[in-house]
A = this chain, B = another copy of it.
Amino acid sequence: MAFSERVTRLKSSLIREILAAAQRPEVMSFAGGLPAESMLPALDWADMPAAMGQYGTSEGEPQLRELLAAEARALGLDCQASQVLVLSGSQQALDLAAKLYIDKGTEVVVEGPTYLAALQTFQLFGAECLSVPLAADGPDIAALRARLEQHAPAFAYLIPTFQNPSGVRYSESARAQVAALLDEFKLTLIEDEPYRELTYDGGMAQPIAARLRQASWIYTGTVSKTLLPGLRVGYLIASPDLFPHLLRLKQAADLHTNRVGQWQAMQWLGTDKYRDHLGQLRDFYRGRRDAMQAVLLEHFADLADWHLPQGGLFFWLTLKQPIDTRTLLGPAMAQDVAFMPGEPFFADPDANPGCLRLNFSHVAPHRLQEGLSRLAHVIRKAQAAQTAA
């Protein structure tokens, strides 16, 4: 049996295995990024035209493309509907970008930490991922410049707003400096913003793609975090030089995105109903975040450092006494507690021990105390063993 060379880089997904194990109802899971079931809006299908059952275009539904372009223009991104490609979830943007850019050995710039599934997809296609350390207000600009001066990466993949996993939102200054650097080196930007609308302090920053004057760009988003992930409807918006290639890659991947999900998304985007729903969602998640913050302060204040996330779905904890958190997963699961170890979010996991990602949207508030106290206990016990050894 002769598989492709690529398959030797096909790792088992830690996320998928944890999520599978975490589905037992007794497990208190801080691992996933699932929206709260109670906040999934009810769907009305009564008015869907029968034609939505027919094949559609690879670009996506014209009306949905218009709505997405209008939304992006409101954020400051100068674009037309003709630049919008509807996707089968925004994960597909990573697959298409990898196909467009990555051969074996191609260098790409990522944040450290970055989105785990992006690392996996880029590495599957053979990329060498160059990390730029992330601070509380954005990437280390000097390190980014050094990467660009010393390497020739194909693109920079950035998640500037409520990053998964770190929760970081780039400051205005960081956005301006990153845009200037990308323009200076004419480096293509892939800007991933699934969590943009989940803002808890009302802040809404202009995308970095909107600030570029020279560099090519792909901006990608999704309705999965604000409407329904089960629809699998995401999108990308690309600079005109990239769009035709991405369109052909989309067609080769799956012809087009399902039209029933696209039609549902069209019923919401840009409506008062959607604005109301987003308001309720922000209130709900802000409440869950605050509840988790209170319990974390109680059990983790001496164990870890973290910033209160102003958006997204995650706390990112850095242990004061570093330990490979992958080794904590077994003991935690034995206590019916699931979390995401931080190491796999780095291009070089072994060099970055001691972080954890904790989701705050999913666990019911009455189980927070029990879940986090068990997790703290698992950590204390492992650290004591490490100290003794």
Binding site for B on A (CB under 8 A): 1-7, 10-13, 16, 20, 32, 34-35, 37, 40-43, 45, 48, 50-58, 87-89, 91-92, 94-95, 99-103, 106, 117, 120-121, 124-125, 152, 154, 186, 188, 216, 224, 227-233, 241, 245, 248-249, 251-261, 264
Contact = CB atoms under 8 A, between A and B. Distances in A.
A254 B252 contact: no
A16 B251 contact: yes
Given A4-B102, A88-B254, A53 B231 contact: yes
A173 B278 CA distance: 61
A68 to B, nearest CB: 18
A116 B231 CA distance: 29
13 contacts: A1-B188, A4-B99, A4-B125, A7-B99, A7-B100, A35-B54, A35-B55, A54-B230, A55-B224, A55-B229, A89-B255, A231-B259, A253-B253
Contacts of A92: 253-254
Contact of A4 (B3, B10, B100, B259): B100
Contact of A228 (B53, B231, B245, B261): B53
A258 B5 contact: no
Nearest to A229: B55
Given A45-B43, A245-B7, A258 B53 contact: no
Nearest to A57: B20
A95 B53 contact: no
The 7 residue pairs across chains A and B that have the minimum distance between CB atoms: A53-B228, A230-B259, A45-B45, A232-B258, A40-B53, A88-B254, A53-B230
Given A2-B101, A10-B249, A124-B252, A53 B88 contact: no
A50 B40 contact: yes
Contacts of A32: 55
Nearest to A106: B4
B89 A229 contact: no
B54 A37 contact: yes
A16 to B, nearest CB: 6
A94 to B, nearest CB: 8
